[in-house]
Amino acid sequence: MLRIFKNIAILEGISYLVLFFNMLFIKPSNLELYKSLLYPIGMTHGILFIGYVLLTVLLKKSQEWDYKTTLIILGASLLPFATFFIEKKYLRKK
C-alpha cells in the first residue's frame, strides 16, 4: 500500500500543478479551452486528493507515523510541490 501512496503523492502533486497552469496561463489567453479543461483536470485532482488523504490516514498506523509526521504529510497536499518533498523525505527511506 505504501507504493500506491507514493504514486498517488506524485500524481496528486502533478495534477495540482496542471490545475494551476490551466488557471494561470490558459485562462487569460483562451477562455473556451480553460472551461473545457477545468472539469476533467479538477475532477482528476479531486479524486487524487481524496485518495492521498485517505491513504495517509490508513498508513498512519502501519507506518507508525506520529501525529506531527501525519499532519506534515496531510498539510503537504495543500501546497504546490510539497507532495514531491514528502515523497522524497518521508517515503523513500522505507
User: Model pTM?
Assistant: 0.86
As a whole-number percent, the residues of the chain with pLDDT over 70 amount to: 98
Q: What is the mean pLDDT of residues 12-33?
A: 93
For 68-90, give the DSSP string: HHHHHHHHGGGSTTHHHHHIIII
**Where do the structural domains in the chain lie, given as residue ranges?**
2-89
Q: What does the alpha-carbon distance between residue 94 and residue 91 come to, in Å, rounded to a whole number? A: 6
- The DSSP secondary-structure symbol of 43 reads H
Listed in sequence order, the residues at least 6 apart from 43 whose beta carbon sits closer than 8 Å to its beta carbon are none
User: Angle between the 31-62 and 67-75 helix axes, to the nearest 10 degrees?
Assistant: 170
